[in-house]
Amino acid sequence: MPTVLDSIFNIFRPASYPKDNTTEPAQITRSKVLVIVYDPIMDKTTGVKLSKYLKWYDPSDLLVNFISDITEVSKGLVRYEIVQRIDVNEFPAKTDGFRYTPQTFLDVWNRTAAPHTPQEVNYAAILTQFNVLNRIARSEIDEVWIFGFPYAGFYESTMGGPGAFWCNAPPLANTANSKRRFVVMGFSYERGVGEMHESYGHRAESILEKTFSKLTGDANLWQRFIRYEKSAPGKAACGNIHFAPNSQVDYEWGNMTPVKSECYDWLLNFPNFKGDTRIVDASEWGGGEIRAHHKWWFRHFPRVMGRKNGIHNNWWQYVAAPQQVIL
């Protein structure tokens, strides 16, 4: 039955919002990705690259596992395709034009020198060098994933294009020529797949926050989804990317304290909640392992048919395609 809030929303519904229904299918989002890997040669004699020189992760392995995980947790509703990978033998330029050399970078890594400031990478130069805006406009690519390293200066995620909004970082300036919103992810091959999910999770938080920003109270399902015991005593749901349902501090995914949560109601019954609350602890989400927790959290994102208050019941089609968010 429609609630009073539903009736009010329907009266004042923005003209751009689609009408509610219960049968609109959940869309599969197919996203074409340009991957740029900054992995400079550290020794010209041997040709060894930074990732191997410091015994970090192989970007190829990270990509395979990350894409596999996203396909799994979205139940196939997000399908990423790498249409091009570009390996770059250089340190990317900062906003003031500075570039590390192999030696100056190692000095910073070994803490014998301070990191360069400003630390932020020159996104505008990268977008120009790789013709990103035109390629987005022509639908050759849908987003960009950049692999870097500590002190490279990349945000975990940032958004460009017309109507770009905060995506765990300020929007990219002067990018309206792309004609569509797009995300640039910043990954690090010094870290693992779990940390890639961390970056993607913050992207999801920003996009879903914006998706539900016109709704208040019980109609704002995103605010209900991210409740955890410390923030909403007795009303824990699924928490956020940093806080599990029973976390007391940031990144505490191994807390074994039992807590009542409606996470199963989200997983099994959405959008027709049945009041299914259960006692859960960290054994549900991997006992503290970052990748396990983040996959658990993503699995609870709604991904079913229908639309309510103008927003589809499949949240993945916003997370993976921010151009779908109605501003």
Give the model's pLDDT for residue 8: 47
Q: Are 33 and 142 in contact (CB under 8 A)?
A: yes
Among candidate residues 45, 59, 46, the one with its CA nearest the CA of residue 149: 59
What DSSP letter does each residue of 286-313 carry, written as one string? Answer: TTT-HHHHHHHHHHTS-EEEEEETTEEE
Q: Are 38 and 152 in contact (CB under 8 A)?
A: yes
Give the model's pLDDT for residue 18: 83
∠ CA 32-158-17, rounded to 5°: 75
Give the model's pLDDT for residue 317: 97
SS3 40: coil
Q: φ, ψ for residue 135 (rounded to 5)?
A: -70, -35
Give the model's pLDDT for residue 15: 54
pLDDT digits (tens, 9 = 90+) for 208-217: 999 999 999 9
Give the model's pLDDT for residue 17: 72
Q: Are 300 and 266 in contact (CB under 8 A)?
A: yes
SS3 108: helix
Among candidate residues 82, 90, 233, 232, the one with its CA nearest the CA of residue 148: 90
Distance (Å, whole) CA 187 – CA 154: 8
Distance (Å, whole) CA 188 – CA 241: 18
H or E segment and range at residue 4? helix 4-11
Give the model's pLDDT for residue 14: 56
Q: Are 303 and 193 in contact (CB under 8 A)?
A: no
Q: Which residues of the chain have pLDDT under 70?
A: 1-16
The tokens for 216 are 């208040």
Work out the end-to-end distance of the chain between its first and last CA atoms, rounded to an integer number of angstroms: 27
